Amino acid sequence: MLKGKVAIVTGGTRGIGYEIVRKYLTNGAQVILFGSRKESVDKALDKLKNENPDWKVDGMWPKLTDAADVENAVLAIKEKYGRIDILVNNAGISQNTPLYNYTPEEFDKVIDLNVKAVFYAILPVARIMKEQGGGCIINTSSMVSISGQPAGVGYPASKFAVNGITISLARELGKDHIRVNAVAPGVTKTDMVAALPEATVKAISSKIPIGRPGEPEEVADAFLYLASDMASYVTGTILSVDGASKA
């Protein structure tokens, strides 16, 4: 489904991002995954090449909250691979801090990575996509961008902003043949959820209409669909993959 496409996936070393990378590789893309440290990038690349030595995968670790660093990485990718067809903004952090314990620094931290870094990556990539005649950007939102959450207000605030960026840029960039969408996962079984006690996972699951957390592979399928030609007329969409949790 993605043969010949060049894709960047931020936060591709573990969790949902890692499964997006695998899904894109399985479907023939050249993937450049971004991680926060060289060690975690090398570890992910080793694991992927172990699984399939023919997969075309590379890794980088620009500081996502530094616009210049991200731009340099993007330009290096364009130089090496000639084009960028898909940008997945997946790296993100969450917060659960109650309002009365919040610090401005903590709020800034989540906004810097979940919002500003999304904008910093889109800026140089969109210019390249326009020049080459099109492309596709997929941001990672969350079900809390629709329902909010009972503590840690910075996190839903950041994901509401991701939806705003997605819908607005879809309108602005449509004429340049750049599609912009987001995936809004519900509770997904990444390391963080897998590490919770069984009783906690049971309690969370009982509130999910489908009766269980999502698997990272199920979320990655939505990223494959949106990146593929099957979604050629889909833009400005926030695609929920949450077992109806937000209902």
Q: How many residues bind ligand NAD (CB under 6 A)?
A: 25
Which of the ranges 13-21, 76-84, 197-205, 229-237 carries the binding residues for ligand NAD, by CB under 6 A? 13-21
Look up tokens 């695609």; give the residue.
239
> Residue 154 interacts with ligand NAD (CB under 6 A)?
no
**Contact between 188 and ligand NAD per CB under 6 A:** yes
Q: How many helices (H) and strands (E) does the chain have?
A: 10, 7
Going through 4-76 in order, the beta strands assigned E by DSSP cover 6-10, 30-34, 57-60
The residue whose two tokens read 């099109």 is: 134
H or E segment to which residue 138 belongs: strand 135-140
Which segment (68-76, 122-130, 190-198, 201-209) binds ligand NAD by CB under 6 A? 190-198
Nearer residue to ligand NAD within complex by CB, 159 or 179: 159
Amino acid symbol at 50: N
Which amino acid, residue 164?
G
In the complex with ligand NAD, which residue's Cβ is closer, 42 or 176?
A: 42
Joined together, the tokens standing for residue 50 give 């172990």
Q: Any contact of residue 113 with ligand NAD (CB under 6 A)? A: yes
Give the type of residue at 207: K
Instruction: Clarify whether 155 is annotated catalytic.
Output: yes
Binding mask 54-93 for ligand NAD (x = CB under 6 A): ----------x-------------------------xxxx
Question: What residues does 11 pair with on adjacent strands?
Answer: none
What does the alpha-carbon distance between residue 153 and residue 155 come to, in Å, rounded to a whole number?
Answer: 5
Q: Using CB under 6 A, which of the segments 51-59, 165-173, 187-195, 204-212 binds ligand NAD? A: 187-195
d(CA 44, CA 29): 17
Residues taking part in catalysis: 155
List interacting residues with ligand NAD (CB under 6 A).
11, 13-17, 35-36, 40, 64, 90-94, 113, 140, 142, 185, 187-188, 190-193
